[in-house]
Structure 1
């Protein structure tokens, strides 16, 4: 837009509404260029419902797993509160000793999961015990060591937990807005505020819409609970001063402390000297291990036929490896599962069929011609077509109506497969999880990943497990088969034939009485064996042994052994029938996500590789054409740290700083355009020296080099190889 005017002026240009950027809804990202070809909004709706189900189920599991420890913690807090109200002998002893009731909550090293636990604890405290529950973190109290923690405590108690109307009931505080109140940062101010609130207020506001009367016996004097979320990260001197000051006011304030510990209870002794730790009356609370929590999440979300979305063996292995070798965080595991869910529905147009059975069959009827062509191109469907008769192959490749009918049948078959698969998987895990050396894995997830990759009955581990089952003692075998029968009885919805269940149950009931006692060993002894029991001389003994060695007589099987073999053969038949890999099932691509590389790239960060790529190839990050060079070389105009990094790759374990500096000065002189034949070329001046020292310091900070005591003018190289 231009203007032509002789005189100066102000011109207004109205914006072009057609070119204004339109706000894109989330579901628009699921819609391809051809809206008729992809049911983007339907896929987004299904993905969102499954996402919410994952979130809801994990929260419920978290509450169930933490229920025991949180209930114990609440009982401890209520007990201490009652002692303070009644001034019982227990609290009197604490007051005389100036001890503060303290709960040491050991949660484990899965730090990302701690927020959910502390949030649940705070909610439970506010609902049933006290509104004065304050959570603090080390990063919030890193300012002034002696007053910042107390300042945070007072601000959250007086400014957040108490409303403005409650202050107006106190004549000394009436007419002063909440934002303008200023209280001295001291424990004495906290005591005055607590007395004023408990004496004047008749109702305490716990959370929006929830009130609790002070006339209740439990809340006559509600305790002040201070939760230290990351106890190990706090400055020890800050904690020592805070505990020492609070112990002086334990007779006036019902203070309780909660230490969130990630490592070990011994951390309290390491951080607090005896003179301070003796002021705490500590009770230990141990949470459930994160591995047990992960097993429960996998059991409820992955090893179930009710959840339509599935993970391939490699994808599940990536998520489990990140959990076991990086953070032990179940929360991050669930986020990885959600990322896989989102990517599957975004990248797979046929994921519109990955939903409940009723909706999947309905969506299969509404598939468009483009969708059916995508379905015909699926590898599993192509294998299914190749296995059919020639006449049916023609219909599958030409008739859309017939393909829709077959698609509905295949969707029913894959759901039937999942019901039987998870039933037999749990039955087999119940048999093999207690065997010596765990040939098929100690956890069911290990057996599940093995079954996803190949035919489990073709592996050496499976043969070893069956052989160990055959060698079990009678009572152990009966107890193991009892677990199998119990798990099988839990899966009534599976399509395993009822007569097969009855047959196995009859065999099990016949084994039980035989396994409860030991038969007469003489029943299985051959006549030659009986001869050994008679008195004989050396000549006859040698003759008898030679006859036994040369004979081909087989041992007669006892009734127990016959029933045992029949039962184990029955289990082996079940495994071969129902534990085939899902890749053999037609249309498994609809519900299985198999892009493990995508998850590994987005979840398993490799900072060292990224840093080395940036230092060796700065062009890809800075987008400067002058930095574009051949592989193995670096531009002289590159940043100093890139030049220094490239030069250090040419050195050995020890790097001479002076030689390194001269090489750097030579490269930089080329960037300055100096004549190589001149005396100034490659000369080290103060500016180059300072730039070099700065670049080396940055490399040391990144962990590529370190100073060494072997030679004062050398540095040691810490990494090998480069991009």
Structure 2
């Protein structure tokens, strides 16, 4: 779904990383991942006016012709299109900014280029993954999703991990290298991209050269055997370091074998494919039409913020209960609110330590304002037992939610644990 040119909608690197992190470290649910992906689609088509062009290429060409002047202006405002305009000659810049018909022709061409880019990107990414997934310690990750995120984030060939991968690839043995080349040939042959005919020929040529090397007599009378014997003989640290330095110098001055030269050539060729086809998507013109990049909106919907939700529920219960009797002004306390809401709003007015007696008196005052005094009470100064029990229950619930804790300084006080608006 994500690595196919058939699906016109794409996820940006940060958005994809949010979905993957929630999947791996939170719920491990494929169903929730799909729901998150569906949410991205809804948000993209809701917030991006030009998402009308996020469809199959044939359909997109039809829709381009029916674009209004306002939609053309929206395209001209896209950051990627601005960069494209700035790179053109002055005559073409004027035509792009003033003529809608000429703009529509260019948009068709740019969307075709974007479609071709996606076709080529997927094939070369899979080819690169064949090489990187078998390297020691996996500098670019073991899974193709890790490699995909790295390529979306920036120019992958400029990273240290990529350089490490190239160095390790230049040390692969012949059998592994041949197997990888065969897998790459299969990937490019099955690819829908039309630019890989020469690539397939080149890879097959490499395979033929490896076969010829196997037919030739093995000429490497390696120094490695004798060098290993030397290392085994000398156990003294000084002589060991000296021998290692000599071996390093001898390898530098040593002439490369045919296999080593061919191996370097293969790795350099794969490197050239990466630099040509794995350009980050945000470097392509009109990428905003098909890519959803607003990770902050996705986090708001998918990443739970329990403290904010609790504060909203306790400070303004009407927000969730929709009971007209619970409506109140910003700073006032509704005496018809649930007990825990009254206790919570009273605790917001206190400092670091809260006197339980004063808190109970304030709670009783608010509650009695609607219920009226109890005629059966022994004294007007004595708090009703039912109100006392309600207060204890509300305070216990507040402690369970983590807003307060018992104080060791004073037994008749509790310590407040949260500050600010919530």
Q: Provide the rounded CA distance (Å) in 2 between the counterparts of 1:606 and 1:641.
A: 20
**Corresponding residue for 2:140?**
440
Structure 1 counterpart of 2:7 = 307
Unaligned runs of 5+ in 2: 231-238, 370-378
Query: In structure 2, which of residues 380, 385, 391 is the aligned counterpart of residue 692 of structure 1?
Result: 391
Is residue 619–residue 625 contact of structure 1 (8 Å, CA) maintained in 2?
yes
Does residue 179 of structure 2 align to residue 483 of structure 1? no
Worse overlay, 329-338 or 378-387: 329-338
1:718 and 1:482 map into 2 onto residues whose CA distance is 66
Measure how far apart 1:414 and its partner are: 0.3
- Aligned mate of 2:51, from 347, 351, 354: 351
Contact 2:328-2:334 within 8 A present in 1 as well: no
Q: Which residue does 2:199 correspond to in 1?
A: 500
How do residues 172-251 of structure 1 correspond to structure 2 at under 5 angstroms? none
Query: Is the 8 Å Cα contact of residues 343 and 363 (structure 2) preserved in structure 1?
Result: no
Judging changes above 3 Å, is the alpha-carbon distance between structure 1 residues 407 and 667 closer, same or farther for their aligned structure 2 residues?
Answer: same
Distance 1:340 1:626, change over 3 A: closer
CA, structure 1 residues 547+440, in 2 after alignment: closer, same or farther (shift >3 Å)? closer
SS at match of 1:605: coil
1:504 deviates by 2.6
Structure 1 position 413, deviation (Å) = 0.4
2:36 paired with 1:332: no
- Alpha-carbon displacement from aligned partner over 1:578-604 (angstroms, at most 9, x marks no partner): 111111111111111122222222233
For residues 354-393 of structure 1, the aligned pairs below 5 Å read 354-393=54-93
- CA distance in 2 between counterparts of 1:392 and 1:548 reads 62
Structure 1 counterpart of 2:163, from 463, 479, 498: 463
Q: Distance in 1 between matches of 2:214 and 2:295?
A: 47
Provide, for residues 611-647 of structure 1, a one-character-per-residue CA deviation record: whole Å limited to 9, x for no partner: 1333356686679775423xxxx85967542453467
Contact 2:188–2:196 under 8 Å retained in 1:
no
Note closer, same or farther for the CA distance 1:343–1:636 as it changes in structure 2 (3 Å cut): closer
Equivalent residue for 2:361?
Answer: 665
User: Post-superposition shift, 1:667?
Assistant: 6.2
Q: State the match for 2:235 in structure 1.
A: none
Q: Deviations over 1:664-699 (max 9, x none)?
A: 4246548979xxxxxx99975535422311212433
Distance 2:76 2:403 in 1: 53
Q: Does 1:614 align with 2:313?
A: yes
Q: Which residue of 1 aligns with 2:289?
A: 590
Greater RCO structure (CA 8 Å; 6+ sep): 2
CA shift digits 1:344-366 (9 cap, x unpaired): 22222222211111111111122
Change (3 A) 1:488 1:375: same
Higher strand share: 1
Q: Which whole-Å CA distance do the structure 2 matches of 1:547 and 1:343 have between them?
A: 60
Q: 1:392 to 1:685 in 2, by over 3 A?
A: same
Distance in 2 (alpha carbons) for counterparts of 1:479 and 1:714: 75
Say if 1:665 and 1:688, in contact at 8 Å, map to a contact too: no
Distance 2:248 2:280 in 1: 47
Give the deviation of 1:322 after TM superposition.
2.1
Tell me the distance in 1 between the aligned counterparts of 2:204 and 2:388: 85
Q: Of 340, 359, 365, which aligns to 1:641?
A: 340
Is residue 2:356 matched to residue 1:628? Answer: no
Q: How far apart in 1 are the matches of 2:215 and 2:312?
A: 68
Distance in 2 (alpha carbons) for counterparts of 1:715 and 1:420: 68
Mapped to 1, the partners of 2:283 and 2:3 lie a distance apart of 19
Answer yes or no: is the 8 Å Cα contact 1:524–1:558 preserved in 2. no
C-alpha distance 413-666 of structure 1, shift in aligned 2 (>3 A) = same
* Count of matched residue positions in the alignment of Structure 1 and Structure 2: 395
Out of 280, 284, 288, which is 1:581 matched to?
280
Alpha-carbon distance, 1:506 to partner: 0.7
SS of equivalent residue, structure 2 residue 253: coil
Cα offset, 1:564, TM superposition: 0.6
How big is each residue's C-alpha offset from its partner over 1:197-225, in whole Å with a ceiling of 9 and x where there is no partner?
A: xxxxxxxxxxxxxxxxxxxxxxxxxxxxx
User: Which residue pairs with 1:568 in the alignment?
Assistant: 267
> TM-score under structure 2 normalisation?
0.79
- How far apart, in 2, do the equivalents of 1:602 and 1:516 lie? 62
CA displacement 1:314-340 (0-9 Å, x = unmatched): 221222222223322212222222222
TM normalised by structure 1 equals: 0.48
C-alpha distance in structure 2 between counterparts of 1:501 and 1:429, whole Å: 17
Distance 2:413 2:207 in 1: 72
Residue 452 of structure 1 pairs with residue 152 of structure 2: yes
Larger Rg: 1
C-alpha separation in 2, matches of 1:718 and 1:516: 81
Structure 1, unaligned stretches of length 5 or more? 1-300, 533-540, 674-679
Answer yes or no: is 1:510 the counterpart of 2:209. yes
C-alpha spacing 1:502/1:693, structure 2 compared with 1 (3 Å): same
Q: Which residue of 2 aligns with 1:215?
A: none
Maintained 8 Å contact 1:619/1:627: no
> Aligned partners of 1:661 and 1:439: how far apart in 2?
62
Distance 1:577 1:681 in 2: 86
The Cα offsets for residues 74-128 of structure 1, whole Å up to 9 and x where unpaired, read as xxxxxxxxxxxxxxxxxxxxxxxxxxxxxxxxxxxxxxxxxxxxxxxxxxxxxxx
Contact kept, 8 Å, 1:665 with 1:682, in 2: the verdict is no
Aligned pair partner of 2:96 in 396, 410, 417: 396
CA RMSD in angstroms, aligned pairs only: 4.1
* Inter-CA distance 409–570: structure 2 relative to 1 (3 Å threshold): same
**1:513 offset after TM fit, Å?**
5.1
CA contact (8 A) 1:440 1:465 kept: yes
Q: Deviations over 1:417-447 (max 9, x none)?
A: 0011001011111111122222111211111
Q: Is the 8 A contact 2:157 2:275 kept in 1?
A: yes
